[in-house]
Structure 1
Amino acid sequence: MAVFDEFTGLWVREFHPASPAAATLSCFPHAGGSASFYFPFSRQLSPALAVRAVQYPGRQDRLKEPCAEDLLTLARRVFEVLRPITGARPALFGHSMGAVLAFEVARMLEQEAGVTPAHLFVSGRRAPSIHRPESVHRRDDAGLIAEVRRLAGTDSQALDDEEILRMALPAIRGDYKAIETYVYRPGPPLSCPITSFIGDEDPRVSIEDARAWREHTTGEFDMKVFTGGHFYLNEHREAICDQISGKLLTADSRRPGA
């Protein structure tokens, strides 16, 4: 298991040890989510891959920090933390808001650091270039909770616990503001492969929305459709992990000297 300095440890969680030569997979949570969401992914993918989950400010052990309400600012902060620890061929995975955040970090890696990610996995999110006006973050608390319940991303018992809910709402609202005010900046497509995952009953993302990620890379593109809604991945975690490990480990074995 990697040993991070205090600052990096605030932002990045590595739950299970990985082999020293393992490729890194940085995982970006959904709106209102936390690094711990990826604990079971890490358990399945380690030690073949070094799974590193990003912990946004404003939740869990970072509860007292202000949430980042601007997605590009958050992407910049994450990029600066990840760049020194990702290695030569990092892979990225993001769900929902995390998919766009992972995309923006991948752009920074390619355009500013000269690092081509091994793969970008995006889940439960339309392509960045498809804009739809949304204002969930402007709703009152009841309206915000109703949206979270609709997407079934949070255990209903947690939503009924007033203390937990009071602690979680600022992070949920801040994240919704970040993704809903995000404006895609046209630019060169990525050169790394992109795989898009989606649930066939997702109320927020259509098959066409997910397929539009194809326009954001000159590399290979693949799309996998699973049964379920916005949080389909809770039911298909094993299959998704198989897809990730299959693509990354197969690609790694093809590298000279592997």
Structure 2
Amino acid sequence: MTGVSPAPDPRALLSAKRWIVRPRRVADPGIRVFCFPHAGAGAAVFAPWARRLPPEAELCAVRYPGRENRIDERPFEELRLMVDALEPVIAPLTDRPFVFLGHCSGSLIALELARRIRDRGGRLPAALFVSSIVGPARHSSDGIHLLPREAFFERVALYGGIDESVLADPEIMDVFEPTLRADFRIAEEGAPRGAAPLDVSITAVGGRHDPFVDFEGLAAWREETSTAFTVHHIEAGHFILDQTMERLADALPGLPRQAGAEVPAPSPAG
């Protein structure tokens, strides 16, 4: 049974302003879309989508510490601690239907937060969208966050999603390196294995030419849900944030709008 979210606490809403960016406020949203960025990224990467979603959908982009206007804050290095901080921030905004979308390492954060909400008896997301990352059951660590500086930056550049001018600027990278390493540590440690599958539909999106995530790795997300699962394996490389958002936008009209509504099986992958 889907849980009922507590009444919003004004203090929690104030705290949420640091964590949650809503580029286009919707007075009475029919659904909220929580977006979790990839390693090194902030809420700004999702901003262009605020007006490309249906009018009743409110985009809520998550901004982690250590970037954008939180650059002076220490980044989280452990997934559990990240979720500890996120849970009370997002809870007041789950007073209506919502979905989670994560790109790359953001997918693991979204998954673990959904598990935490489930374990607390809260309202679950209507759907979870993940992209460009291997499912936790097949996850393994390459120790990227432990690489020497030059090798680390070379590997980060291969993933895309961070402007080359930023990666090439030593002064910027002096400031940003701890945040990047912390993000990659979270990605490599991954969501804990062995947790019970979520009663939430999952859509996984990946690129056929992604050198880091093959089809089997992407399809391993099937093990994280007890209900509908879809894989979209598209003609693209690793960085497919826009393509993932497009699939979420297409799916929104068919998602449940009431707590406890049955999640429909997605159409065949395209």
TM superposition score normalised by structure 2: 0.86
| 1:47 aligned residue | 55
Deviation for aligned residue 1:182: 3.4
1:161 to 169, 175, 193: 169
Structure 1, unmatched stretches of 5+, are none
- Indicate which of 246, 249, 253 corresponds to 1:245: 249
Aligned-pair distance for 1:16?
1.2
**Counterpart secondary structure, 1:148:** helix
In structure 2, do the counterparts of structure 1 residues 216 and 158 end up closer, same or farther at CA, with 3 Å as the change threshold? same
Q: How does 1:169-184 map to 2 (within 5 A)?
A: 169-182=177-190, 184=192
Q: Secondary structure, in 3 states, of the residue corresponding to 1:222?
A: strand
Deviation at 1:31, TM superposition (A): 0.9
Structure 1 runs (4+) deviating above 4 angstroms are 253-257
Deviation of 1:255 after TM superposition, in Å, equals 8.5
Identity among equivalent positions (%) equals 29
| Distance of 1:213 and 1:182 partners within structure 2 | 13
Identify which of structures 1 and 2 has the higher relative contact order when contacts are C-alpha pairs closer than 8 Å and 6+ apart.
2
After superposition, residues 74-223 of structure 1 pair within 5 angstroms as 74-182=82-190, 184-223=192-231
Residues 99 and 126 in structure 2, CA contact (< 8 A), matched pair in contact too: yes
Paired residue secondary structure (1:190): coil
* Residue type of the alignment partner of 2:245: C
Shift of 1:25: 0.8
The answer to which of 43-52 and 103-112 deviates more is 43-52
For these two proteins, the number of residue pairs brought into alignment is: 251
Question: How far off its partner does 1:113 sit?
Answer: 3.1
Where in structure 2 are there 5+ consecutive unaligned residues? Answer: 1-9, 262-270
Q: 1:84 to 1:134 in 2, by over 3 A?
A: same
Show the counterpart of 2:78: 70
Separation in 2 of the partners of 1:174 and 1:251?
34
Alpha-carbon deviations, 1:27-83, whole Å to 9, x = none?
001111111111122231153311101111111211111110001210221122101
TM-score by length of 1: 0.89
Distance, in Å, in 2 between the alignment partners of 1:232 and 1:243 is 11
Give the letter aligned to residue 33 of structure 2.
Answer: L
Partner residue, 2:3: none
Task: Check conservation: 2:97, 2:257, Cα contact below 8 A.
Answer: no
Q: How much is the aligned-residue C-alpha RMSD, in angstroms?
A: 2.2
1:27, 1:51 within 8 Å by CA — same for their partners in 2?
Answer: yes
Structure-1 separation of matches of 2:259 and 2:102: 25
Change (3 A) 1:44 1:207: same
In structure 1, give the amino acid aligned to 2:249: S
Residue 76 of structure 1 aligns with an amino acid whose one-letter code is D
Query: Partners in 2 of 1:183 and 1:93 — Cα distance?
Result: 15
Contact 1:122 1:194 in 2 (8 A): yes
- Structure 1 residues 26 and 254, CA, compared in 2 at 3 Å: closer, same or farther? closer
7, 26, 31: which one pairs with 1:23?
Answer: 31
Q: How far is 1:152 from its partner?
A: 1.9
